[in-house]
Amino acid sequence: ATTLGASAQQSGRYFGTAVAANKLSDSTYVGILNREFDMVTAENEMKIDATEPNQNQFSFGNADRIVNHAISQGKRVRGHTLAWYSQQPGWMQRMEGSALRQAMINHITQVASYYKGKIYAWDVVNEAFADGSSGGRRDSNLQRTGNDWIEVAFRTARAADPNAKLCYNDYNTDDWTHAKTQGVYRMVQDFKQRGVPIDCVGFQSHFNPQSPVPSNYQTTLQNFANLGVDVQITELDIEGSGSAQAQNYQRVTQACLAVARCAGITVWGIRDSDSWRSSGTPLLFDGSGNKKAAYTAVLDAL
Ligand code: XIL
């Protein structure tokens, strides 16, 4: 096939991108989006600060713009994200304890119910584990409500939208030997053993020279899949250019294709100029919307 989405579909997978609502009026951007991708993640518009700017007052306008565009174009949507330490509205940042726990539950219930039936998979909890060698949880106001906050979030999301896949999503969990990877693995293993509803693990996969594609990336994906969950590459971008960048993109694509339960790949933006990385050229299309070597390498690997 001649597009990323159609090529991914040949093996039952998807190929997605992050989308920003304020770029839906950019015809070059929308042209590439409509042509190449069959899955969409809102880059910021479904985060807590966007959807609940004031407590119990929900705001879905920008998220709806993205969801409606995706659905009208026959694309599916990944929901991102229901519970996260970052991009919380001010009112939530100032909360703690049982009030915060209740606010989290209400947020998940309201947002997942609003989008019920429209979301392929939710990143229920994002980035809850610490970097470094501890393998433990990241400190946050949510974590301080009690260690069970993650399973409560998953159970709440399942009750609100029983047909959405429920994912745990994080970064620096790509190298099998890292303590953070092991910590997330043990949590998923525990959830599966105790019947906490979890269907998928998202690997953000923001790679750069300090944090390159690890040699054991495929092993990591396979080991998580062996727990009985799908794995998804959820926010892929790779710093670099030319053939070195293309080879890294190809390796990531091949790793997903080699793991039966790797459901699909999402890149974190369309053109280099759309990237959240202020400098650099980490995406598949250049600033003018031309296909890069990395694009061809991915398409060839799919
Ligand atoms: C980023 C967005 O791309 C930026 O526009 C925003 O300013 C900050 O968040 N991990 C995640 C994503 O899960 O939500 C982040 O997205 C990138 C890192």
| CA neighbor of 210 nearest in space, from 240, 186, 244 | 240
In the chain, the amino acid numbered 251 is: R
Mean pLDDT of 78-107: 98
The pLDDT tens digits of the residues spanning 3-30 come to: 999 999 999 999 999 999 999 999 999 9
Ligand 1 centroid–CA 47 distance in Å is 10
The pLDDT tens digits of the residues spanning 135-168 come to: 999 999 999 999 999 999 999 999 999 999 999 9
Which amino acid residue places its CA nearest to atom 16 of ligand 1? Answer: 43
User: Taking a C-beta distance cutoff of 8 angstroms, is the pair 171, 204 a contact?
Assistant: yes
Ligand 1 centroid–CA 177 distance in Å is 25
Is 239 known to be catalytic?
A: no
Q: What is the pLDDT of residue 279?
A: 84
The pLDDT tens digits of the residues spanning 189-217 come to: 999 999 999 999 999 999 999 999 999 99
ipTM of this predicted structure: 0.99
The Cα–Cα gap between 59 and 289 comes to 31
Mean pLDDT of 242-251: 98
> In a mutational test of the pocket of ligand 1, which residue from 268, 270, 283 has the highest number of ligand atoms less than 8 Å from its CB?
268
Q: What is the dihedral of CA 40, 155, 47, 176, to 10 degrees?
A: -70
* Phi, psi angles (nearest 5°) of residue 281: -135, 65
Q: Which pair of structure tokens corresponds to residue 103?
A: 């606010």
The Cα–Cα gap between 197 and 191 comes to 7
Q: What is the pLDDT of residue 278?
A: 83
